[in-house]
């Protein structure tokens, strides 16, 4: 089983961000820490037989939380769960938070993988995004992490930013690859409703949908070129794509994330966290005060429970599995569901194969390069009615 821990705190909210996070004050951060610990404790008995194979501390900015509070959370995790010796333990970090001392303590707690949110190496883009850091600050954070002993580091970058050109994007990629992180996540910017970016760029979003010229956001063709050229340059620099937006050096793929695509059961704790346990998807409450109040009065924080039918599970298995370049292994599908993938999805597979979007070879079913570019189109066809 995997464990996800959500830390909903940030120095300030970025303009494109629609995740659950905010600054709050230190009192609230402390109360949240203890609420989180009591949620963790509440699962002790239920999962006493399970082994945690990976832990992911996400946010927000986990490294913005006071180190002493983080220490308490780790203590709770290790006291209440059985964590495998070789578990991958990742923590997210934003430049400008954390310090050499803090990184050393995280290492000591057991964190063995650090994911740093850079997003861009260009100062104008960082400002536009509402990031608190400069590229120099990122470089400092990166070097301190190395000094503290992190030998598995991911750097997040983004494509499709407003006014982004290939010059700017390639500058970011070149500067990042020069530092030789083990892993690079390359996300396309999505303008989510309810964010400041949505208000600023919603007209452009509409224009882009209608295939009209845009002002700030790259138009559909430019966006595709940026994404495609980033893919090529990253490959050239020795990072192979193993999932739609993830690139890694050989053997440095993120085990935790692969777990999501392979539908390994996971427990999510903290504000708004999602879980998949015994074919039920749970979601925690998304309001921080009710989260804390519920934890303090020993109530369940889960507000949504979706039981997955076998059909749901098979659909998920396909559309999540296809996110990975290796795709879905036929035999594994059969082992899980006791039915062949052809018997369930034969028609869809054939149709997409004919369109050159999907390939079936070597016992696997996977997206072609072209299919990867239009993955949503293919995946939506794997939904069963």
Partner 1 sequence: MAVDQSKIRNFCIVAHIDHGKSTLADRLIERTGLLTEREMQSQVLDNMDLERERGITIKSQAVRLIYKANDGEEYILNLIDTPGHVDFNYEVSRSLAACDGAILVVDAAQGIEAQTLANVYLALDHDLEVLPVINKIDLPSADPQRVIEEIEDVIGLPAEDAPQISAKTGLNIDSVLEQIITELPAPTGDASAPLQALIFDSLYDPYVGVIVFCRVKEGTMKAGDKVKMMATGAEFELVEVGYFGAGQFIPCDELSAGMVGYMTASIKNVRDTRVGDTITSATNPCKEALPGYKKVNPMVYCGMYPADGAKYPDLRDALEKLQLNDAALQYEPETSVALGFGFRCGFLGLLHLDVIQERLEREYNLDLVTTAPGVVYRVHKTDGEMIELTNPSNLPDPSEIEYMEEPMVDAEIMVTKDYIGAIMDLCQERRGIYVSMEYMEESRALLKYVLPLNEIIYDFFDALKSRSRGYASFDYEMKGYERSELVKLDILINHEMVDALSFIVFKDTAYERGRKMCEKLKQEIPRHLFEIPIQAAVGSKIIARETVKAMRKDVLAKCYGGDISRKKKLLEKQKEGKKRMRQVGNVEIPQEAFMSVLKLDED
Site for partner 1, rule CB under 8 A: 4, 6, 19, 56, 58, 186-188, 190, 209-212, 220-221, 223-224, 227-228, 244-245, 260, 266, 268, 273-276, 281, 283, 304, 306, 316, 319-320, 323, 355, 357, 372-377, 379-381, 383
Q: How far is the CB of 42 from partner 1 (least distance, A)?
A: 19
Residue 89 or 105: which CB sits closer to partner 1? 89
Closest CA to 72 of 35, 98, 103: 35
Q: How far is the CB of 215 from partner 1 (least distance, A)?
A: 16
DSSP H or E run through 187: strand 183-188
Distance CA 169, CA 275 (A): 35
Distance CA 125, CA 313 (A): 40
Distance CA 378, CA 301 (A): 35
Residue 46 or 370: which CB sits closer to partner 1? 370
Q: How far is the CB of 146 from partner 1 (least distance, A)?
A: 26
Q: How far is the CB of 359 from partner 1 (least distance, A)?
A: 16
DSSP 327-363: -EEHHHHHHHHSS-HHHHHHHHHHHHHHTTSEEEETT
Closest CA to 2 of 58, 71, 50, 73: 50
Distance CA 149, CA 249 (A): 18
Residue 49 or 385: which CB sits closer to partner 1? 385
Residue 99 or 283: which CB sits closer to partner 1? 283
CA distances for 134 relative to 128, 131, 140, 162, angstroms: 12, 8, 10, 18
Q: How far is the CB of 348 from partner 1 (least distance, A)?
A: 12
DSSP 297-315: TT---EEEEEEPPHHHHHH
Q: How far is the CB of 99 from partner 1 (least distance, A)?
A: 25
Q: How far is the CB of 343 from partner 1 (least distance, A)?
A: 21
Residue 128 or 186: which CB sits closer to partner 1? 186
Residue 297 or 380: which CB sits closer to partner 1? 380
Q: How far is the CB of 156 from partner 1 (least distance, A)?
A: 10
Distance CA 118, CA 146 (A): 16
Any alpha helices (H) in 110-134, and if so which ranges? 123-129
Q: How far is the CB of 379 from partner 1 (least distance, A)?
A: 6
CA-CA-CA-CA dihedral for 91, 95, 97, 99, to nearest 10: 90
CA-CA-CA-CA dihedral for 323, 258, 243, 182, to nearest 10: 170
CA distances for 223 relative to 163, 165, 192, 239, 356, angstroms: 11, 9, 17, 21, 22
Closest CA to 334 of 314, 353, 362: 314
Residue 45 or 221: which CB sits closer to partner 1? 221
Residue 69 or 227: which CB sits closer to partner 1? 227
Q: What are phi and psi of 121, to 5 degrees?
A: -100, 0
Q: How far is the CB of 155 from partner 1 (least distance, A)?
A: 15
Distance, first Cα to last Cα, the chain = 29
Residue 141 or 257: which CB sits closer to partner 1? 257
Residue 123 or 206: which CB sits closer to partner 1? 206
């Amino acid at each position: 089983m995997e464990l996800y821990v959500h830390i909903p705190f940030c120095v300030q909210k970025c303009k494109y961000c629609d995740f659950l996070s905010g600054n709050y004050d230190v009192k609230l951060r402390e109360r949240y820490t203890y609420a989180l610990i009591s949620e963790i404790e509440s699962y002790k008995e239920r999962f006493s037989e399970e082994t945690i194979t990976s832990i992911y501390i996400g946010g927000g900015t986990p490294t913005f939380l006071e180190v002493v509070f983080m220490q308490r959370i780790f203590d709770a995790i290790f006291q209440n769960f059985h964590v495998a010796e070789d578990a991958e333990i990742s923590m997210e970090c934003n430049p400008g938070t954390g310090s050499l001392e803090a990184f050393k303590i995280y290492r000591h707690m057991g964190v063995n993988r650090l994911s740093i949110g850079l997003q861009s190496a260009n100062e104008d883009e960082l400002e536009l995004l509402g990031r608190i850091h400069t590229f120099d600050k990122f470089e400092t954070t990166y070097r301190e992490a190395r000094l503290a002993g992190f030998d598995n580091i991911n750097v997040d970058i983004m494509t499709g930013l407003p006014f982004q050109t290939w010059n700017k994007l390639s500058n970011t990629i070149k500067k990042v690859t020069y530092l030789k992180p083990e892993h690079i996540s390359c996300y396309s910017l999505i303008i989510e409703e309810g964010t400041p970016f949505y208000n600023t760029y919603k007209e452009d979003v509409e224009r882009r949908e209608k295939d009209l010229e845009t002002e700030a956001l790259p138009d559909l063709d430019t966006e595709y070129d940026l994404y495609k050229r980033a893919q090529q340059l990253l490959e050239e620099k020795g990072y192979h794509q193993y999932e739609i937006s993830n690139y890694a050096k050989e053997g440095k793929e993120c085990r935790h994330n692969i777990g999501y695509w392979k539908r390994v059961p996971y427990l999510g704790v903290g504000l708004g966290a999602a879980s998949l346990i015994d074919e039920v998807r749970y979601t925690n409450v998304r309001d921080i005060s009710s989260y804390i109040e519920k934890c303090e009065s020993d109530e369940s924080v889960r507000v949504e429970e979706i039981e997955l039918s076998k059909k749901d599970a098979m659909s998920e298995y396909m559309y999540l599995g296809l996110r990975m370049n290796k795709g879905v292994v036929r035999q594994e599908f059969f082992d899980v569901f006791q039915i062949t993938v052809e018997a369930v999805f034969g028609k869809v597979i054939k149709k997409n194969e004919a369109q050159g979007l999907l390939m079936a070879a070597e016992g696997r079913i996977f997206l072609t390069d072209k299919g990867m570019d239009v993955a949503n189109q293919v995946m939506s066809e794997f939904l069963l009615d």
